[in-house]
Amino acid sequence: MAQGGVRAHRKDQASCLRELARHHRSATTTIAVTSGKGGVGKSNIAVNLSICLAAHGIRVTLVDADMGLANADLLMNLHPRYTVSHVLSGVRSIEEVSMEAPGGVHFIPGASGLHELADLSEFERQNLISQFQKMEINTDIAVLDCGAGISRNVLSFALAADQVLVVTTPEPPAITDAYAMIKALHREGCPGRIGVFVNMANSRAEALATFQRIAGVAERFLDYSIADCGYMLHDTAVELAVQERCPFVICHPGSNASACIAAMATDMARRCTGQRHRGGFFSRVAGLFV
């Protein structure tokens, strides 16, 4: 099929999906956790943030949306029998794939090596949309553990979220890549709130300096204000928790890292309570296939 024909075909599909989405409205808030580069603790933040949000009495679903390297299950010592790949193929429903995770969180395991969202078959598209609709019924906040970098898959999930949390560390390469992520989201017209979370900071002052460096560049070159979503101090409890395959907010609740994540979760829970939603994640996913 010629490129123009493929584009028209996808627009027709998107129109049908939007018509389905028009009849569905969700109160679910979606938070996409991503990063410019790997190795900055993105998945660890997503897992422990989800648990802290659930502690507020919020119904939380954590989705491992990292199509390249899905590993959130390892941090929680879970052994999924089924993953989102089984949902895409129609072999299992979202309810069958969903697992009970630590802290009362519902978890949707991801699958590494899945192809681009834009390359899904018509059956996979329709099935993904209908399954996400089911997920939203019993979810107040969906936390998406997205991949790192600015691939189409990562950007697609982030652009459909109400909030995007870009995780970075104080190291210059991580800062540079975090700004690249923010720039890509801004270029794509990201309608959600974009914030930065500084991980592995040696002090509050270093975390603030890191945020101000990224925020200053974004303000100067993009004319865009990013949100300060907090920071997490470098803490050996985090490394120990990873080795134990237990979220650090559970096995080391008195650690500095746990206090930092709890503070961010409290702020997010307050914001999400009165937030006006953009028609639910279900309806926004329909726009990914144009």
* b/e burial code for range 81-114 (CB count within 10 A of at least 16 → b): ebbbbbbbeeebebeebbbebbbebbbbbbbeeb
Given a contact cutoff of 8 angstroms between Cβ atoms, the answer to whether 110 and 83 are in contact is yes
Stronger pLDDT, 35 or 288, i.e. the higher one: 35
**pLDDT at residue 24, as a whole number:** 43
Q: What is the mean pLDDT of residues 114-123?
A: 68
**pLDDT at residue 21, as a whole number:** 43
275 — pLDDT class (breaks 50, 70, 90): low
**pLDDT at residue 252, as a whole number:** 97
Q: What is the CATH number of the domain that holds 212?
A: 3.40.50.300
Domain membership flag for residue 3: no
pLDDT in tens, 179-216: 999 999 999 999 999 999 999 999 999 999 999 999 99
pLDDT in tens, 55-113: 999 999 999 988 778 899 999 999 999 998 888 888 999 899 999 999 999 999 988 77
Domain membership flag for residue 261: yes
Domain membership flag for residue 112: yes
Domain membership flag for residue 180: yes
**pLDDT at residue 152, as a whole number:** 84
pTM attached to this predicted model: 0.85
- Report the SS3 class of residue 38: coil
The count of domains in the chain is 1
Q: How far is CA 1 from the centre of its chain?
A: 34
Which structural domain, as residue segments, surrounds residue 55?
A: 27-284
Domain membership flag for residue 19: no
**pLDDT at residue 157, as a whole number:** 86
Flag whether pLDDT at 131 surpasses 90.
no
**pLDDT at residue 196, as a whole number:** 98
Whole-number mean pLDDT of the chain?
A: 86
Given a contact cutoff of 8 angstroms between Cβ atoms, the answer to whether 258 and 237 are in contact is yes
Stronger pLDDT, 65 or 253, i.e. the higher one: 253
**pLDDT at residue 119, as a whole number:** 67
Domain membership flag for residue 4: no
**pLDDT at residue 88, as a whole number:** 80
Domain membership flag for residue 2: no
Domain membership flag for residue 128: yes
Distance between CA atoms of 170 and 40, rounded to whole angstroms?
10
**pLDDT at residue 17, as a whole number:** 42
